[in-house]
């Protein structure tokens, strides 16, 4: 027998779980499915949480690996070989492991009344039916929170992302004792811009709890046949990071800003599925959660009050589209600065600015 729900959410990452929580809190019958036993199990991520997240969500203590109070940007070039600038945040950011973070968000959605079904791959969306490896489920609304290769986006008529719209990224989790982390990296996240290593991309070191997350991201069309894992190995050697490798994962990120429409008929898309990832550096968790809140509420007003589902599209654009405009300008500026060999010079100048320590504008959004 086909089971019926108000909302079926495909994908239980940050976008899916936040949508599920908001919809369940508003009294809807919600089913959330994920192809993995638990969301986050196979998700590649640096685990960086923008200050908005610890400030606005009551996260369990053991989900946070480390509170982060700043960012250090490092650039290497020919004229200036090593430029470095550090920013301080007015509210703490954090680092996490997705395997714990995503599960925690899914648990909260379940506490609020959503049903969770793991190891369930959605194969196709047909009208109001989701065809999965565990049978067919029906709902009034179907939400695609299923990442960059979303099958719900496909059912809505969106083509796959083009290579020039995607970045590829890989991340290692590497062991390092906390004393060494504190001495070398402190409580800051480190981003490295090194044209010799990678173009139109960057490397990172994010400190955790007795471990680091080290990785590299690059626009797909600028990889020129290079192997991201080998480049990351080279970067780790260069930075003298040689602890035990705990995990290695890779993934894709849409870097072109949101899809033209994110609601159609009885379907909507949210998070990476909708291209909600920030195009400047590929930060996506904060956006996925912000849009998930809007999606969950709009599902409720659609099911309970008959409000059009397109209100979701209108509402998030009205509230947040300006952030994508800013990020896209940031991305253009980065590309220009890199092409003109200006990144190390720019950072050097920035490091002379007496106000550089204040990054509170970022912590407020």
Cβ-based nearer residue to ligand FAD, 74 or 344: 74
Cβ-based nearer residue to ligand FAD, 74 or 253: 253
What is the Cα gyration radius of the chain? 21
Cβ-based nearer residue to ligand FAD, 11 or 346: 11
Cβ-based nearer residue to ligand FAD, 295 or 300: 295
The single residue among 7, 28, 31, 47 that binds ligand FAD, judged by CB under 6 A, is 47
For CA atoms 143, 149, 155, 157, the dihedral sign is positive
Q: x/- contact string, 253-292, with ligand FAD (CB under 6 A)?
A: x-----------------xxx---x----xxxxx-x----
CB of 8 to ligand FAD, least distance (A): 10
Site for ligand FAD in 215-254 (CB under 6 A): 215, 251, 253
94 touches 46 (CB < 8 A) = no
Q: Is 33 in the site for ligand FAD (CB under 6 A)?
A: yes
161 touches 167 (CB < 8 A) = no
CB of 152 to ligand FAD, least distance (A): 9
223 touches 197 (CB < 8 A) = no
Q: How many residues bind ligand FAD (CB under 6 A)?
A: 40
5-13, 153-161, 300-308, 333-341 -> range binding ligand FAD (CB under 6 A)? 5-13
Give the strand pairing for 30-33 and 115-117: parallel
Q: Is 188 in the site for ligand FAD (CB under 6 A)?
A: no
7 touches 137 (CB < 8 A) = no
CB of 296 to ligand FAD, least distance (A): 13
Instruction: Report which residue's Cβ sits closest to ligand FAD.
Output: 284
Distance of CA 185 to the CA centre of its chain: 23
Q: x/- contact string, 201-220, with ligand FAD (CB under 6 A)?
A: --------------x-----
Place of tokens 């053991």: 62
DSSP code string of 266-298: TEEE-GGGGT-S-TTT---HHHHHHHHHHHHHH
Q: Which two tokens stand for residue 191?
A: 């981003």
Cβ-based nearer residue to ligand FAD, 26 or 220: 220
- Report how far residue 269's alpha carbon sits from residue 141's, in angstroms, rounded to the nearest whole number: 11
Q: Which two tokens stand for residue 331?
A: 């991305």
Beta strands in the chain (DSSP E): 3-10, 30-33, 48-49, 64-76, 83-96, 115-117, 122-126, 129-132, 135-144, 166-175, 188-194, 201-207, 211-219, 245-254, 263-264, 267-269
Q: Is 63 in the site for ligand FAD (CB under 6 A)?
A: no
Helix then strand then coil, in percent of the chain rounded to 5, is 35, 30, 35
Cβ-based nearer residue to ligand FAD, 121 or 307: 121
Cβ-based nearer residue to ligand FAD, 128 or 348: 128
144-152, 155-163, 173-181, 309-317 -> range binding ligand FAD (CB under 6 A)? 144-152
Q: Is 121 in the site for ligand FAD (CB under 6 A)?
A: yes
Query: What's the chain's length in residues?
Result: 365
The single residue among 43, 220, 232, 262 that binds ligand FAD, judged by CB under 6 A, is 43
Q: Which residues bind ligand FAD (CB under 6 A)?
A: 10-16, 33-36, 39, 43-48, 121-122, 145-147, 151, 169-171, 215, 251, 253, 271-273, 277, 282-286, 288
């Amino acid at each position: 027998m086909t089971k019926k729900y108000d909302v079926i959410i495909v994908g239980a990452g940050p976008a899916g779980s936040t949508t599920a929580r908001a919809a369940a809190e508003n009294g809807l019958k919600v089913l959330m499915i994920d192809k993995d036993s638990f969301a986050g199990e196979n998700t590649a991520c640096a685990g960086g949480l923008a200050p908005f997240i610890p400030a606005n969500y009551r996260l369990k203590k053991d989900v946070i690996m480390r509170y982060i109070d700043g960012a250090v940007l490092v650039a290497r070039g020919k004229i200036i070989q090593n430029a470095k600038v550090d920013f301080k945040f007015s509210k703490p950011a954090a680092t996490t492991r997705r395997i714990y973070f995503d599960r925690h968000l899914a648990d909260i959605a379940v506490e609020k009344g959503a049903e969770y079904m793991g190891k369930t791959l959605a194969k196709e969306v047909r009208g109001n039916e989701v065809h999965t490896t565990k049978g067919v489920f029906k709902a009034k609304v179907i939400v695609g929170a299923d990442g960059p290769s979303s099958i719900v986006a496909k059912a809505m008529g969106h083509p796959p992302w083009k290579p020039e719209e995607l970045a590829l990224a890989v991340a290692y989790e590497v062991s390092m004792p906390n004393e060494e982390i504190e001495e070398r990296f402190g409580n800051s996240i480190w981003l490295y811009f090194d044209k010799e290593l990678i173009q139109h991309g960057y490397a990172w070191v994010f400190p955790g709890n007795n471990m680091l997350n080290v990785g590299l991201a690059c626009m797909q069309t600028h990889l020129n046949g290079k192997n991201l894992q080998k480049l990351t190995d080279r970067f780790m050697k260069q930075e003298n990071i040689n602890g035990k490798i705990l995990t290695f994962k890779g993934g894709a990120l849409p870097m072109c800003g949101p899809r033209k429409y994110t609601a159609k008929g009885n379907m909507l898309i949210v998070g990476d599925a909708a291209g909600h990832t920030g195009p400047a550096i590929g930060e996506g968790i904060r956006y996925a959660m912000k849009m998930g809140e809007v999606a969950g509420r709009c599902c409720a007003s659609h099911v309970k009050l008959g409000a059009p589902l397109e209100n979701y599209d209108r509402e998030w654009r009205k509230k947040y589209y300006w952030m994508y405009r800013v990020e896209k300008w940031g991305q253009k500026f980065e590309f220009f600065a890199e092409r003109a060999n200006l990144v190390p010079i720019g950072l050097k100048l920035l490091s002379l600015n007496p106000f550089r320590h204040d990054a509170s504008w970022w912590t407020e959004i």
